[in-house]
Amino acid sequence: MISAQTPILTVTLNPALDLSARVSRMEAGPKLRLSDTDWEPGGGGVNVAKAIHALEGDVLAWVALGGGSGEQHLRLLQRQGIPTHVFDAPGDTRQSWAITDDSGQQFRLQLPGDTWAKGVSSNAFADILAQAKALVVLSGSQPPGVPADFAQALAQELGAGRLIVDTSGPALTQLIERPLAQARLFVLRLDQAEAEALAGDPLADVADTSAFAQTLVARGVAEHVCLARGADGSVLAGTAGVFHCRPPTVCVQSKVGAGDSFTGAFTLALARGGGFCEALRLGTAAAAAAVMTAGTQLCRLEDVTQLLDACELHQMGA
């Protein structure tokens, strides 16, 4: 029986209409004929909502959409049965491409999205608060023009223990370099490249990652900090200590969506009343399940269920 859960809202300021396709060889010059094309509604928060939905959780996806590509994006979301609240965004919703060649290499191309005027950002902020649930996940990049402190302002309005953030660019830099005690995040998630760039050094092993995560918690960036380590799983630091969860080895089809699958499963476990260790294990299983699927597909329930018991969790320093 599936546990009852508290409501979840995912927020996607900068969604994308995702194209995945194959090409025999990626090279400059000739026309490249794509095959196996597939369109998916994407963007950080959208993918988090899709992962939660795939794991039979309840979620409302707040999405900023505009133009013809935004209409297509919404139709695809509705076709998948995901409850959606649409905010009217300026311009056309951006597109992104994940092209895989016969050698297995994957090329990922993304557009930045249209610039938001100050009034649009303010209206979006108010609309998110009007739809806010017990847990709010702000995931993905921000459109140009959105204030870098958008997440901090949202955390301050929502209050403690509610906002989970997985972002990038100036918004992430703002969170790390200018933490505010009154706007402390509930959870901040970073991928390995982001964590190493912010640390200024390679995080060569789990101990390095653990130390950096603890530093961010101590500086008041978030109550809990989760740092991904690719195939080596994830590290979570918080008030209960530092934990590392490693997934089993799986056959990698595409790395697209692994982080969003992690965040969706992690959030769902918390919403169902699980502790942080349980959330870390479910998130790790979901990320591993996501790389087993092709193109821009996310985790599947049957794969997550199969992988969960094989995810190795241990406390650092214990």
Of 11, 9, 260, nearest to 146 by C-alpha is 11
Q: Which residue in the list 92, 114, 208, 260 is annotated as catalytic?
A: 260
Beta bridge partners of 10: 61, 137
- State the Cα–Cα distance between residues 266 and 165, nearest whole angstrom: 12
Q: How far is CA 205 from CA 170, 235, 236, 265, in A?
A: 27, 11, 14, 24
297: helix, strand or coil: coil
**Is 260 among the residues known to form the active site?**
yes
CA dihedral 229, 232, 234, 240 (to 10 degrees): -130
Residues 6+ apart with CB under 8 A from 28: none
Say if residues 41 and 75 touch (Cβ distance below 8 Å): no
Closest alpha carbon to 226 in 249, 200, 240, 244: 244
Cβ contact 216:222 at 8 Å: yes
Separation between Cα atoms, residue 148 and residue 180, nearest integer Å: 13
CB 138 within 8 A of CB 12: no
List, by residue number, the catalytic residues.
Answer: 260
